[in-house]
Amino acid sequence: MPHQKINIYQRSTRVLVAPLDWGLGHATRCIPIIYGLIAAGFEVIIAADGATKILLKSEFSHVDFTVVKGYEMQYSRHVWGFKLSLLAQMPKVWRRIRMEQRWLGKIITEKKIDLVISDNRLGLYHPSVPCIYITHQLHIETGNRFTAWLAQKMHYHFINRFTQCWVPDVQQTPFLAGILSHPHRLPRTPVRYIGPISRFEPLQTSTQHNLLVLLSGPEPQRSIFEQIILQQLIEYSGTVLLVRGLPGNTEQLRAGSNVTIKAHLDAKALSQAVQQSAMVVCRSGYTTIMDLVKLKQKAILVPTPGQTEQEYLADYLQQQGIFYSTAQKNFSLQKALREAEGFQYKTISVQESLPETIASLHTLLLGQEVNTPGSGTRG
């Protein structure tokens, strides 16, 4: 089949955006990217399922959705079992990657996709269209030098099949993700540092809550930390807003009259809640970190036990003086608040480059000679 140039002016260029389903952070950091694509005139199709789909549907009710099966990872209640649990599920991950490959080939043809943006979905590359991979973890922290090297080697095996790799961090110091985003060796695929991305915008507002608790991340650790927090809030007299991070959940939790509990807040409401709070308690997920830095908000980071990436980020950012952090084990809210009060928080300003990055997609598409979708070879 002869090669052809994509003419993006014959119709709106169709972009498939597909975030990973390991927690909601991948979905939430895709929100500003999707808004940017729409503003730039692209037609967006979102691939998601489960809680990820519910979250993105609440933001983009007018956007076309298609279902792609998630990885559906399960996690151990015990820290010592976390890595063993992930290792045991690797065969399932490989099956999901192969499934993604078959699925993407069909969707490109059926939906006439011109460009794919994959947030950490390893199997969403295809030879017939440009495919962009988003990750802040070019180095994967495992707590062991050999396994970190092996994990990076496996990660790069997939990254090198994409057209570009976007890293949501700055290229020059101070880095937000430390060695995770700036390893000693980069993949062969061109890497573009697109700057931190956040769905939030600064507002002029006043303090309404002494404390905002943001719960997130995989089960069962999300629920374990929720129970720890709820128990300790009994002795806390300040005003509290607790956001459970469970879109679509209707369960009613009991708490004191000073505690307001929400299952989920959309981007606008959550941005306002963060800026109306004197202090935030949250996980050290990278998406949350980017949001807090954007809003210059003080926070106490409590990494998910066993997640070496979050543990590294919490420790790194405390060493940089950007956030105070403490472990979930033996967590004491009163102690954390007392020590955070004396912590010398540094505020940093980071330059966003998302509009320029999205504008560059037009050049990428115009300069990309490809086969008709589904033909199987890159031009």
**pLDDT tens digits for range 112-159:** 999 999 999 999 999 999 999 999 999 998 888 888 898 899 999 999
> Are residues 253 and 185 both part of a single domain?
no
Q: Is residue 164 domain-shared with residue 298, that is, in the same domain?
A: no
> Residue 378 falls within a domain, yes or no?
no
Q: In terms of residue numbers, what domain contains 57?
A: 4-197+353-370
Tell me whether residue 202 is in a domain.
Answer: no
Note whether residue 113 is domain-resident.
yes
For 64-111, how does the pLDDT look when each residue is reduced to its tens digit (9 = 90+)?
Answer: 999 998 766 555 555 555 555 556 556 667 788 899 999 999 999 999
Task: Tell me: do 168 and 57 sit in the same domain.
Answer: yes
DSSP 221-268: HHHHHHHHHHHHHTT--S-EEEE---TT--PPPP--TTEEEES---HH
Indicate the angle between helix axes 50-59 and 25-39, nearest 10 degrees. 40
Tokens of 165: 């790799």
> Do 279 and 177 share a domain, yes or no?
no
CATH number at 9 reads: 3.40.50.2000
- Predicted local confidence at residue 219, as pLDDT: 82
* pLDDT score for 158: 95
Q: How much is the average pLDDT of 346-352?
A: 83
Are 167 and 283 in the same domain? no
| Selection from 33, 28, 62 nearest residue 268 by Cα | 28
- Which one, of 107, 95, 103, 297, lies nearest residue 214 by Cα? 297
Q: Are residues 236 and 329 in the same domain?
A: yes
Please indicate, yes or no, if residue 76 is contained in any of the structural domains. Answer: yes
Predicted confidence (pLDDT) at residue 4 exceeds the cutoff of 50: no
| Calpha distance 87→96 (Å, rounded) | 15
| 83 and 225 co-located in one domain | no
Q: Say yes or no: 47 and 174 in one domain.
A: yes
CA of residue 28 relative to chain centroid, distance = 6
R_g (Cα) of the chain, nearest Å: 21
pLDDT value for 29: 93
Q: In terms of domains, do 182 and 216 share one? A: no
The reply to whether 95 falls in a domain is: yes
Instruction: State the pLDDT confidence band at 378, using cuts at 50, 70 and 90.
Output: very low
pTM equals 0.86
Residue 375 lies in a domain: no
The count of C-alpha atoms lying within 13 angstroms of the C-alpha of 325, restricted to the half-sphere facing its C-beta, is: 24
Q: What is the average pLDDT value for the chain, to the nearest integer?
A: 88
Task: Tell me which residue has tokens 């002494």.
Answer: 210
Indicate if 119 and 64 belong to the same structural domain: yes
Q: Are residues 147 and 69 in the same domain?
A: yes
**Max Cα-Cα span within the chain:** 71
Domain count, the chain: 2
Do 79 and 180 share a structural domain? Answer: yes
From 75, 57, 76, select the one nearest 264 (Cα to Cα). 57
